Structure 1
Amino acid sequence: MSKLQEQVINTFHYLHEHAEISWEESETTKYIASILKDNGCEVTTFDDCTGVIGAYGNFNSNLPVVAIRADMDALWQEVNGTFQPNHSCGHDAHMAMVLGLLWKLEENPSLKNNIAIKFIFQPAEEQGAGALKMVGKGGLDQVDYLFGIHLRPQEETAMGHATPVIIHGATTVYEVEITGHDAHAARPHLNVNAIEVIAEIVNLLGNIHLNPRIPYSAKMTNVHAGGKSTNIIPGHAIFAIDMRAQDNQVMDELEKKVEEILEAMHQLYDVKVAITHKEKIPAAETNREAIQIMEKAAVSVLGREHVDPPLITPGGDDFHFYTIKRPDLKATMLGLGCDLKPGLHHPNMTFNEKALMNGVAILYAAVKEVYGV
């Protein structure tokens, strides 16, 4: 095992064992900032949020600026019976690979004067809010190219393979509250049962029909109603609805249908049904030049036969806010095959750690492709 590979794997394990959830990645920020400083980066952190940006290379020239983004946050998840921060989406691996790129650049100091790289370590991807925060903090100032990387499940991308672009769908989450009053279980005529309202909503979500040629879904993912007493009919409940659509137009239609259902429940049951919180992540907007650069890089590392076509997936990523806010940005996200199973967000997700160096090598090749070095 090379020294670089050992560094990357050890860093991955450290980050996995010290997972932090969205907006609480304070120790992760300090850890990353220290590594960036020790390896020649000008480092920027923030007083009002987590996240860190490192500038590496020559920014006093007309060189194009390449940004490399890694997401930092873990999920709050039950693992073996205990709720805890858990990196089941691979963000620990993404950080380790992006740091691996920095270390690989440091192994070749002659490159430093001929490149201009921004390392963006972004918080709160799982809440769909961190990318927008980094844009507001100037993370994309001067940036011409933006590259990301994400581990892929084995059913999407095989070990030793990669795809030069992940075409994520749009994601919207509504948190909804039903506000009523409780009643005795022997007197169901005295209130509206919030659980029955929720059941009706679940049924109606399954009856939404949009263009079948474009994948979409709407489903309830979280419900809280009632308390410890089993002889009370709950009038109050909170729940979440997760919506997915492969393009932004269909997502707009899906949101309208869901909102009509919620309004219908209000009218039918004469109970308040209100959306209390919304999270929305747009579908990918792709860039041909960035994809071609990443494809060449992947071919140079893995060989043509191991580079897959563009990957279309219903999953979402707030990476795409960067291109929504900066339409001129040349951006793509590399999908890395790594024998990941049973799947992303599974509490016991595992992958083949040997794939980490494939990610480092492809990102390095993409940087060299941009600068022709």
Structure 2
Amino acid sequence: MPDWQQQLWDAVDRRADELIEVRRHLHRHPEPSNQEYATSEFLQMRLAEHGIASVVPQHRRGVIADSEDQSAAKRVALRGDIDALVLKDRKQVEYRSRNEGIMHGCGHDAHATCVYGAIVTLAELAKAGALPCPVTWRGLFQPAEETATGASEMVANGVLQGVDGIFALHVDPTRAVGTVGVRANTFTAHCDAMRIEVEGAASHAARPHLAKDTIAAAAQFVTAIYQLVPRGIDSQDAAVVAITQIEGGSASNVIPDRVTMSGMIRALGRDVRNHVVGHVAHVAESVGQLTGTKIHIDFGVHIPGVENDLRLTNLVANISGSLLGTDRVQWIDRPSMGGEDFAFFQEHVPGVMFRLGSSRDNTPASGLHTPLFDIDERCLAIGAKVLATAVVEACLDS
């Protein structure tokens, strides 16, 4: 093991308590997507305490921090998301959310803390002359991941100018702390949010023949896509369509003239996604004609699938193997059907996201997006070590 690597890992270990402190502050004070003002101010303040200059974009959400040394042949970015979920925190711990109905239920507090730990450590070792080469990094604390708008917003602000590669992690409650999950190429699914509006004609419930029944049309639409979408794509292609919200009607004796629905399409591969979107639109048109209603679909923001660069994936795997042991690096067999707007960064530069084991040993963990979600905080130092080491190795490879 190179001397610089051991020094880096030791330096992260020395600030393990600081990382827990930062993570718990973020966990106590979560902010939802597009409202991450105090979170951004807190992170900027903590970075300034270590002599790291940073800027907050014009919308006052998110933080961009650059290394003092800009002489390396490569600039490597680290991304940590900072927004929280609209979800009630039901954990009985001292650091539970103090913002009622808002919770870091997806681990973004941990992701931001790992990036914070990595860049603070890199800055410390650079000042001490303990790094093996010039190292140029950019820390991105990204807002609005949950609404899939934050990454593209940061890209539009120019954060990838001069960046040659980008690394990110996601905590994984299905993996024990001290393990890492890696996968090259397709890592997550393409995702499309749908808002569906059914327009018809209202009538008294006693006279359904006078209505263009939106409730019946909505029911037929849901049934049709659940039956026909799986039959309309190759059985070896992964795709999921889910309707998750239905709203309509105001009285038990009135057939309403409008019903709205929301849902998601998830698919592995752009071609499969395009086929499913077209199939759902065709079903909507057909059901509308059959029922005499009009069914409009707004597909909203499309989130591409995360496609991990092979070279950077192998780099993370090798670093993790040196840190944890090769038996603690788990190659993921199948991609996730979840979505991640980290993919928007990867449309411009090579990147990799990996899974950071975060469950306590031999303790069943509550899943992501659940009111009891939590992490084993030992994973914070591990994540910071892997990210910081990846930056140095990438610069050495230039």
- TM-score after normalising by structure 1: 0.91
Give 3-state SS (helix, strand or coil) of 1:293's partner. helix
What 5-or-longer segments of structure 1 have no aligned partner?
none
Equivalent-residue separation in structure 2 for 1:231 and 1:17 (angstroms): 46
Q: CA deviation at 1:266?
A: 2.1
Aligned to 1:359: 383
| Matching residue within 79, 94, 104 for 2:121 | 104
Q: Is 2:108 the counterpart of 1:88?
A: no
- Name the counterpart of 2:64: 53
Amino acid at match of 1:296: N
Is this contact kept in 2: 1:164–1:298, CA < 8 A? Answer: no
Other-structure match for 1:12: 23
Q: How big is the shift at 1:111? A: 5.0
Number of the residue aligned with 2:357: 337
CA contact (8 A) 1:173 1:278 kept: yes
Residue of structure 1 in register with 2:199 after alignment: 179
CA distance in 2, matches of 1:165, 1:9: 28
What pairs up with 1:199-348 in 2 under 5 angstroms? 199-207=219-227, 208=229, 209=231, 210-227=233-250, 229-276=251-298, 278-310=300-332, 312-324=335-347, 326=348, 329-339=349-359, 341-348=365-372
Displacement of 1:63 in angstroms is 2.4
Residue type at the aligned position of 2:137:
I
2:239 partner amino acid: Y
Report the secondary structure of 2:109's partner residue.
Answer: helix
One-letter amino acid of the structure 2 residue matched with residue 270 of structure 1:
G
Q: CA deviation at 1:259?
A: 0.8
Residue of structure 2 in register with 1:140 after alignment:
160
1:103-123 per-position Cα deviation (integer Å, ceiling 9, x unaligned): 322442325782111001111
The answer on 1:161 being equivalent to 2:179 is yes
Give aligned-pair identity as a percent: 28
The one-character-per-residue Cα deviations of 1:310-348 (angstroms, maximum 9, x if unpaired) are 462111101011122x1xx22101211112832111222
Shift of 1:57: 3.1
Structure 2 CA distance, aligned partners of 1:225 and 1:18? 35
Q: Distance in 2 between matches of 1:192 and 1:90?
A: 46
Q: Which amino acid aligns with 2:35?
A: E
Q: 1: CA distance between counterparts of 2:245 and 2:193?
A: 11
Contact 1:300-1:365 within 8 A present in 2 as well? no
- What SS does structure 1 have at the residue aligned with 2:139? strand
Q: 2:89 touches 2:102 (CA, 8 Å); kept in 1?
A: no
User: What is the CA distance between 1:79 and its match in structure 2?
Assistant: 4.9
The one-character-per-residue Cα deviations of 1:82-115 (angstroms, maximum 9, x if unpaired) are: 9722211111110111111123224423257821
Deviation at 1:277, TM superposition (A): 5.0
Query: 2:140 matched to which residue of 1?
Result: 120
Deviation at 1:283, TM superposition (A): 1.3
Q: Provide the rounded CA distance (Å) in 2 between the counterparts of 1:184 and 1:174.
A: 30
- For the 8 Å contact 2:30–2:84, the answer to whether it is kept is yes
Contact 1:40–1:56 under 8 Å retained in 2: no
Q: Paired residue for 1:24?
A: 35
Determine if contact 2:166/2:350 at 8 Å carries over to the other structure. yes
| SS in structure 1 of the partner of residue 224 of structure 2 | helix
Following TM superposition, where does structure 1 have runs of at least 4 consecutive aligned residues deviating by more than 4 angstroms? none
Q: Of Structure 1 and Structure 2, which has the larger fraction of its residues in strand?
A: 1
Alignment root-mean-square deviation, CA: 2.2
Aligned length: 365
For 1:68, which of 55, 74, 78 is the aligned residue? Answer: 78
Secondary structure (helix, strand or coil) at the match of 2:15 reads: helix
What is the deviation of 1:35? 1.9
Q: Deviations over 1:213-242 (max 9, x none)?
A: 222110101111123x32222221211121
CA distance in 2, matches of 1:137, 1:116: 19
